[in-house]
């Protein structure tokens, strides 16, 4: 086993670098890869703080043996071995420091040599070693990004002009280490609609698949938990999957395929549920549409019945006129006309052209639109049900079907 060392860096703070390195490590560990996370950000201890509970438990355990725990800072300054925190079965962490004290940011060639010596035995124990570098180009960050320490560098950046300029400046400062063949740029925190639109273009330009952030991702990080869901999948997980495929290449293809196949039933379950819900909604709308049609027929029959009653009354009273009752015909005719207008014609006109008639037409139009949308949705779900699980994951629309129809 020879670990690939990847340094996760950024031109400026706030890019989401630390959250991403934890997310990548967590996802790769779910693929049964042995992962070591190293917090080399002595200024903020961000990765250490993210897993503070586990770090404190490990520190207390080491203190119980009458010695002080050693993080990366202590390992570099005291030439001691670092104590590793087990976050899960396949995911480990070397904290920046167990004391959570800001270490000196200055480093020299001896620091570089010591870090190289620390990493050599660790390469034989893990599949991937992910180093969280301090933002910017301080001495320790330059060492972490240097080619004799890390195999590849991922520069995490937000999608704005200032961040883009910062990336270019970082590349210019470290042009000997941040060469095209070993440097990736990863856009983070971008809007989901932008992520899908230029993902293919960015890969050609040595950019990894972008990581979109939506409200669900923001809420997860606000609650100090990772936004990925490796059990059932979500939009963020699918984006991370595509990013790791570009970063790790063939070394994880087999594991990714196995992971996707093992969750085929879970992946398809939302589709099946959406299809059943759509069929139920279709039956409900057809029932409501049928009631609207019956209501219109009743209104039409009311009009016809009124005309029949009127005509019958005129014929009936004409017989009275023939029999010599013509003197009463004007009064009887007036009575019939008034009754017809009051009890049949006028209410019927109100229904046809008044509030009730307009409401019937609006309901009919609304149900027609909803039925068309449901027909389109069922066709799309029928297509998705025929696709293989990996293609479904790549599409990234397994969980958004209902919302998309409602929004339209």
Q: What is the pLDDT of residue 33?
A: 94
pTM flag (> 0.85): no
Best CA proximity match to 385, nearest among 369, 401, 404: 401
Q: What is the pLDDT of residue 330?
A: 60
Find the length of the chain: 408
52-53-57-63 Cα dihedral, nearest 10 degrees: 40
Q: What is the pLDDT of residue 191?
A: 78
Which overall architecture, per CATH, does domain 4-262 show?
Answer: 3-Layer(aba) Sandwich (3.40)
Q: pLDDT tens for residues 20-79?
A: 999 999 999 999 999 999 999 998 999 999 999 999 999 999 999 999 999 999 888 887
Contact 173, 137 (CB under 8 A): yes
Distances in whole angstroms, Cα of residue 126 to Cα of each of 29, 116, 230, 287? 11, 15, 21, 61
Distance, in Å, from the CA atom of 1 to the CA atom of 329, rounded to the nearest integer, reads 111
Pairing type for strands 35-39 and 4-10 reads unpaired
Q: What is the pLDDT of residue 114?
A: 92
Q: What is the pLDDT of residue 93?
A: 97
Q: What is the pLDDT of residue 383?
A: 64
Distance, in Å, from the CA atom of 51 to the CA atom of 87, rounded to the nearest integer, reads 8
Helix 264-320 with 355-385: angle, nearest 10 deg: 150
Q: Taking the chain (408 residues) in consecutive chunks of 10 residues, what is each chunk's mean pLDDT?
A: 92 92 95 95 92 94 92 87 94 92 68 92 96 93 94 93 90 93 91 63 66 84 82 75 85 80 65 76 82 71 63 58 54 59 56 58 78 79 62 49 36
Distance, in Å, from the CA atom of 87 to the CA atom of 110, rounded to the nearest integer, reads 30
Q: Residue 128: beta bridge partners?
A: 4, 35
Q: What is the pLDDT of residue 408?
A: 31
Q: What is the pLDDT of residue 289?
A: 76
């Amino acid at each position: 086993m020879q670990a690939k060392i990847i340094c996760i860096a950024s031109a400026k703070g706030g890019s989401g670098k630390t959250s991403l390195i934890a997310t990548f490590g967590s996802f790769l560990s779910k693929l049964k890869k042995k992962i070591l996370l190293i917090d080399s950000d002595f200024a903020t201890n961000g990765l250490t703080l993210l897993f503070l509970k586990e770090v404190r438990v490990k520190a207390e355990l080491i203190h119980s043996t009458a010695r002080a725990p050693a993080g990366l800072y202590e390992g570099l300054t005291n030439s001691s071995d670092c104590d590793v925190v087990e976050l899960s079965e396949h995911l480990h962490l070397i904290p920046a420091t167990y004391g959570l004290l800001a270490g000196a940011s200055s480093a020299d060639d001896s620091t570089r040599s010591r870090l190289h010596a620390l990493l050599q035995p660790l390469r034989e124990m893990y599949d991937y070693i992910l180093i969280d570098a301090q933002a910017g180009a301080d001495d320790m960050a330059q060492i972490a990004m240097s080619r004799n320490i890390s195999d590849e560098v991922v520069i995490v950046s937000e999608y704005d002009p200032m961040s883009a300029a910062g990336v270019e400046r970082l590349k210019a400062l470290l042009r000997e280490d941040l060469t095209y063949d070993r440097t990736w740029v990863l856009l983070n925190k971008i809007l989901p609609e932008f992520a899908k639109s230029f993902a293919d273009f960015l890969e050609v330009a040595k950019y990894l698949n972008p990581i979109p952030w939506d409200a669900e991702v923001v809420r997860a990080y606000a609650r100090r938990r990772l936004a990925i869901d490796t059990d059932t999948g979500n939009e963020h997980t699918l984006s991370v999957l595509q990013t790791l495929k570009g970063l790790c290449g063939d070394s994880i293809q087999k594991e990714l395929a196995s992971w996707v196949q093992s969750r085929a039933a879970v992946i398809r379950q939302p589709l099946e549920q959406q299809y059943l819900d759509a069929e139920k909604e279709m039956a409900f709308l057809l029932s409501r549409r049928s009631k609207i049609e019956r209501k219109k027929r009743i209104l039409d029959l009311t009009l016809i019945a009124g005309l029949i009653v009127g005509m019958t009354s005129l014929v009936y009273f004409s017989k009275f006129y023939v029999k010599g009752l013509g003197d009463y015909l004007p009064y009887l005719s007036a009575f019939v006309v008034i009754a017809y207008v009051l009890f049949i014609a006028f209410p019927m006109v109100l229904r046809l052209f008044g509030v009730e008639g307009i409401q019937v037409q609006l309901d009919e139009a609304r149900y027609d639109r909803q039925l068309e949308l449901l027909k389109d949705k069922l066709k799309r779900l029928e297509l998705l049900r025929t696709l293989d699980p990996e293609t479904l994951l790549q599409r990234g629309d397994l969980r958004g079907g209902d919302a998309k129809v409602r929004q339209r």
